[in-house]
Structure 1
């Protein structure tokens, strides 16, 4: 891309790697890239290949004219299978195969019907011979359904005409496709068994995103015998991984809860009784309750990614062995692992690891390293294979450091992450103009990366000379179960106090200028930004029990319960945030999760129970002091089903009624995650302009 293009435009157009896979011989890596912002009506993605050990050897395999994505190696290592819409961009979806022995773009051929329109959600290649591919997709629309949609005769009745994902089996050489699971359940995940004799899969009763309970089942391919392994009371994350006796998966430490840390589980095939595992400890942190962020299948084992505070470590877990692979301070957003020659004792095993990682100095790139194992594992150097960040030669960040907020003896204070602007090193940090950016989730953490919130607000603001302070408040990941569970029923309380305490700490240390502060965030971060704007740095000491006061006295009691600070926010950027938790629970696509955060759903609470209002910014506007509430920039997607845009509409109406300056911006066609290039550029530029207008 031309370096003369504006910085924010180049950020949004930057090719971001994903779906990294290392070849069976550990000699090559394939992956896909796509920019954050989509040009035109259809998403486009490019496949790349790189030679392990050769710096910047990545080259495109496909043209980038289609949405080519999720490449997987065939067991021979001579070809890859991927998902694409080549038959009709933006409409069709099929599995394609590309021979890599001298192949060029255009030689890929479809394995499933190229004209199919329903999305292929996941696929897994049979790992020993590659003769079969199991995949998940809904049934194609019938002629009658297409006619009804065309004629507008398409009334929708909840619970009728569910679009279930079906489990299918493709015979690669013949192209024949069989349906393996006939029940009316929604299949969401699958994996091949250890010996490739069958498939283990996960299903839910309906495709409703709020469906929490899942079922594990297996099917033996030779007889088509179906077995129900067990039901599990909560959501399952990441890949399913099989060894010789167990199925391994990731789920919450408190399985039925969404506000919980993620841990590994094992399900024995014979008993169907799942148990939570104690995975390997991070080096130097054997006594901490850390979090597992991801798990992928590997050669007769699995690799887990563990996190504690800002540290990340990969472990290979075999049937009876544990092998540390790497430890990083920078985040690892994708990874794969393979061991070659592991069955031939006469040869040294060759292991390869491919990861996607970046840091504050450079956007994400694909790196890889290899090792050999005879008696011991000997690793070679890590080599960067790609160079997608070449279009961003600017280094917007000066430095980045973390600190723990002091809440008193024995208190587990939040972590703060301070990103300084270009040219400002740690030694020169003093009273910087600062934007407090709050992450979403809440169960995520602030990565020490180039683009922590996946919207490029961080580098765009740092490039204009602003420091960015990010608190990992109560409910965040990387701190164990107790810290994650603090979000349960207490949203808007401990998390808010953690944010204020983190700002207090940074102001007290003299790092940031107390007179030049703006707060912002997206999703849960947008909600907390609403709350920060409404209270503007003040904390309740303690929260008021509304039931102890007459209705006409509640507002005065609440208003008098806040303590003032020595600083205030001069502005707030609220993206896709919640203003009323009751309204959200009643209108979101994930009511169970949001009710747990808020402390209850309206239909399950007594009429006199107003506790969920304690965390709803809209209900604090009546007693908010107009002179304290700063000007506000509200950003929201009009098609957001996770946090409907009426949340933003409600808060903007409250601002207008009270005479508070408010810029209310909605983006047509956008959901909770923005996808269109022009919208992403507008949002990022609008955020920078707003910050400049408030703190210079």
Structure 2
């Protein structure tokens, strides 16, 4: 199955090969300073070996191309860095006191960084899980375990429902350098997330019954509490299941957050929900996005550099997935004395849209600032962008957007009242004209940029029932002009999507295989992200109903176009992509010459019983082992291995022990029935890459 375009020396693999990928870095956790003049981010090895993890913090000037420079030395695991609200220092988590174990907070003044001074530790007296600085910069709220358990009391036995170390909520004062536990919060529950009120006097937090993943599918309690000692919490309401990410508390009196389009659904598109708590209790709720595109991440855009004229207002940025594209919108909410009672104004303004590139997994930030001296406003968006179309590896880019509030014209989006989402015209509302400038701030992953270029293309086609689908096709620029051996590479999730990015990593072999001369096709099947509620909710029909036929229809489409050789096909994927690979191989028996099932499920009954998220796995599989419908068991791939001639490699990461028993059963079934196969549990990801590449290129004909 080795393509004719690959020579014996295989020069392309000197660029994109397992060794280079295993040694690469990822760029993430982008944050903008309150003044919008600087940006920090994190550079971390994509894979850790037997040694401990390390990471670096980098600093860049927003408006100077190529200005990124290393802020910390990379000898420790420095991470989760944010600017202090005054903009003069950076707060981050590190293991400097106990490499590989500690989770302490450090403060690095930027003037000290220029003089090569070490950061100072903030003596909290305990490890930090998550933290957030108060808007006035006086305090840090952080989550940490309430009680420490010594090794002598540790026990291998696990009792269902027993919470060994629930997270509590703590406050550190910069003035006194002391910490205290926030009293009044139920100590038997787990702090899932928290955020400050705009004035810094209160905290909003979410509680669930335990920290394990299964509790995220149960009821979540939402409360607020004053930071004044002795205060009691006020319950605002509940969520039917965990929202996505943290909430944001806005000066307009709204709590915003991301939930499933229908909040009780485990598998659904995400939408932005706006809850009005201006009267102290939740009132009206508004839902934005989720109908035909998905809101997947939000950030608070405001800082102390916002003018007093924006009192009673709030502004967030929303990452919106629209098919294979992404755009970032600013959502502005405003309430003042002239606004009718129980009403408010809001506007949605576009800030940024991908054009042949892609944002790396939520690695972006947006900040709004106002200069009272010049009466000018500005917005900065910073993001890690890559492009498969342009062969650009992930790097940090800044986009500065200046607003001219004197210009009134056609609204770039919409301004509406809470009573009517469809009206464009709001009296005395002035729409800004937006002008932007973009800068590339960093130059990481040069080895990838210098590799042999690939061809990346987004295509659309129709499924058999007429549903319009999209996917990404990758191939080598040097590939011969004839039908190529083809690998169907399926993304996980299912609530993820394939986009025209450019970043090979452990569960993504697209670029590796394309550089070796294969045509690699990656479909966005029903259940994927970016197409709204109906498209994502289709996953609730169960695995194999829509997702696999959609995947196979992309193979049929590239064969129809004359790009793929129907006699030389392979299939691979990771997580849910691995599950779909197992599904497709046991359904088609011999259509695919080779397959890699990466961390996928073959026995859905066992998966539901053994998984840490049984409700989610039941929604995906629609298999309930205890419902008495025994005929459903015949639908799992493990019950259909008879007659499979595809060469199958089953891969699992070391930490996915929950899948090992069921996949050993799949291994034994394939072995007994004579399928060429292998099973690889390998912590060294370079080796798993090599194993995947070997079986997909081993020539099973």
TMscore range, shorter length: 0.7 to 0.9
1:646 and 2:661 are equivalent in the alignment? yes
Distance 1:518 1:179, change over 3 A: same
Query: In 2, distance between residues paired with 1:8 and 1:56?
Result: 29
Instruction: Answer yes or no: is 1:683 the counterpart of 2:685.
Output: no
**Aligned-residue offset at 1:655:** 0.9
Secondary structure (helix, strand or coil) at the match of 1:101 reads: helix
- Where does 1:110-259 land on structure 2 (aligned, <5 Å)? 110-113=121-124, 116=126, 118=127, 120-127=128-135, 129-142=136-149, 145-149=150-154, 153=155, 155-181=157-183, 182-183=185-186, 184-211=188-215, 212=217, 213-222=219-228, 224-243=231-250, 244-259=252-267
- Asked whether the 8 Å contact 1:14–1:388 carries over to 2, the reply is no
Correspondence 1:416 to 2:416: no
- Residue aligning to 2:397: 367
SS of the residue 2:379 aligns to: strand
2:358 to 304, 316, 331: 331
Q: CA deviation at 1:188?
A: 1.2
Q: Report the alpha carbon displacement of residue 294 of structure 1 after superposing the two structures with TM.
A: 1.0
Residue 322 (structure 1) aligned with residue 329 (structure 2) = no
Distance 1:219 1:595, change over 3 A: same
Q: Which residue of 1 aligns with 2:118?
A: 107
Report the CA distance between 1:159 and its aligned residue.
2.3
- Whether contact under 8 Å (2:603, 2:663) holds in the other structure is no
1:440 aligns with 2:492: yes
Q: How does 1:156-555 map to 2 (within 5 A)?
A: 156-181=158-183, 182-183=185-186, 184-211=188-215, 212=217, 213-222=219-228, 224-243=231-250, 244-269=252-277, 270-273=280-283, 275-279=285-289, 289-299=292-302, 300-319=314-333, 320-329=346-355, 330-333=357-360, 334-341=363-370, 344=372, 347-360=375-388, 361-375=391-405, 376-407=432-463, 411-424=466-479, 430-451=482-503, 455-536=507-588
Aligned to 1:546: none
- Contact 1:576 1:648 survives alignment (8 Å): no
Determine the C-alpha separation between the residues in 2 that align with 1:405 and 1:511: 14
Tell me, which stretches of 5 or more residues in structure 2 are unaligned?
Answer: 1-12, 303-313, 334-345, 406-431
User: Taking structure 1 as reference, are residues 693 and 274 closer, same or farther at Cα in structure 2, changes over 3 Å only?
Assistant: farther
Task: Give the Cα separation in 1 of the matches to 2:245 and 2:267.
Answer: 17
SS in 2 for 1:619: helix
Task: Report 1:24-35 matches (<5 A).
Answer: 24-35=34-45
Match of 2:632 in 1: 611
Match in the other structure for 1:630: 646
Q: Are the aligned partners of 1:403 and 1:415 in contact in 2 as well (CA < 8 Å)?
A: yes
Single out whichever of 379-388 and 227-236 deviates more from structure 2: 379-388
Secondary structure in structure 2 of the residue aligned to 1:610: helix
The 2-side partners of 1:45 and 1:291 are apart by 31
Distance in 1 separating the partners of 2:596 and 2:440: 36
Say if 1:431 and 1:271 are closer, same or farther in 2 by CA, change over 3 A: same
Give the Cα separation in 2 of the matches to 1:189 and 1:351. Answer: 27
> How far off is 1:505 after superposition?
1.1
Q: CA offset at residue 419 of structure 1?
A: 0.9
Match in the other structure for 2:622: 599
Shift of 1:691: 1.5
What residue is the counterpart of 2:336 in the other structure?
Answer: none
Query: Which sections of structure 1, spanning at least 5 residues, go unmatched?
Result: 282-287, 538-566, 669-678
User: In the superposition, relative to structure 1, how do residues 638 and 250 fare at CA in structure 2: closer, same or farther (>3 Å)?
Assistant: same
- Counterpart of 2:612 in 1: which secondary structure? coil
Distance in 1 (CA, whole Å) between partners of 2:131 and 2:600 is 34
Cα distance in 2, alignment partners of residues 260 and 6 from structure 1: 35
- Aligned residues of 1:577 and 1:647 also touching (Cα < 8 A): no
1:585 equivalent in structure 2: 608
Structure 2 CA distance, aligned partners of 1:106 and 1:589? Answer: 44
Equivalent position SS for 2:472: strand
Aligned counterparts of 2:438 and 2:274: Cα–Cα separation in 1: 32
2:64 to 54, 58, 70: 54
User: What TM-score, normalized to structure 1?
Assistant: 0.86
Calculate the aligned-residue CA RMSD, in Å: 2.3
Contact 2:475 2:515 in 1 (8 A): no
Q: Which moved more, 1:5-14 or 1:208-217?
A: 5-14
| TM superposition shift of 1:102 | 3.9
9 and 462 in structure 1: CA distance in 2 versus 1, 3 angstrom threshold: same
Partner Cα separation in structure 2 for residue 430 and residue 695 of structure 1: 21
Normalized against structure 2, the TM-score is what? 0.85
Is the contact between residue 638 and residue 644 of structure 1 (CA under 8 Å) also seen in structure 2?
no
Deviations 1:574-615 (A, max 9, x none): 111101111000101000101112224223x12x4422532x
Distance across 1 between alignment mates of 2:248 and 2:176: 28
Q: Against the structure 1 CA distance between its residues 5 and 535, is the aligned structure 2 distance closer, same or farther, given a 3 Å change threshold?
A: closer
Corresponding residue of 2:32? 22
Counterpart of 2:192 in 1: which secondary structure? Answer: strand
CA distance in 1, matches of 2:545, 2:14: 46
